[in-house]
Every structure is written in C-alpha cells, then in structure tokens.
Amino acid sequence: MFKKFQTSVGDILDFPPEVVGEGPKITITGRQQVMVENYISVINFSEEEIRIKTAEGDVCFGGKGLVLKVILSTELRIEGELSSVSFGGGETK
C-alpha cells in the first residue's frame, strides 16, 4: 500500500523517480568517490571499469584503481580515480 501511495504522490506532484525511490541516484564527490543508490546489480567490475545495472539502463564508471568499498542491497560506494561516466540501454521519455 505504501508503494502505491509513493507512486501516486510522485505522479501527482511530478517528482522525479529518484525522489520517490524508484530511479537511481548517483552522487559524485570530486573524482575520488561515487555513491549509487537504487541500483539493481553489478554487471562487471575491475580496477579500470565498474558497470552497474539500474532501472534506467546501465551506468559505466571508468578510471584507475576503482574499488567497490560498500555494497549494500540498495546502495554502493566506489572509490578510486574516476575519469569517466557513461550511460546506456535506458528508455527515453
């Protein structure tokens, strides 16, 4: 019931999906840290690339020395020298 209420309020007030908890929220702090909330899964990871799946498509983080520091069911934190972010596979509205 609460999930239905969230969606209804979000639709009525025209909030973006990340505010009502459906879409991903990506916070980049400098070039050293990335926090991703509301992700689905980690597709691939290495020291040079970390690719995650979200409800709006894949997100790929490139850099050097990338490490998954925190992995929880709804959020993850990446640390290292970030050099690129790319998006793919999502729907356009």
Task: Determine the average pLDDT of the residues in 60-76.
Answer: 95
| Residue 23 pLDDT | 82
Q: Which tokens in the block code for residue 67?
A: 């490490």
Band the pLDDT of 14: cuts 50, 70, 90.
low
Question: What is the CATH number that goes with domain 22-88?
Answer: 2.60.40.2000
Residue ranges covered by each domain of the chain: 22-88
Q: Are 36 and 78 in contact (CB under 8 A)?
A: yes
pLDDT, position 20 = 57
pTM score, two decimals?
A: 0.74
> Sorting pLDDT into bands at 50, 70 and 90, what band is 51?
very high
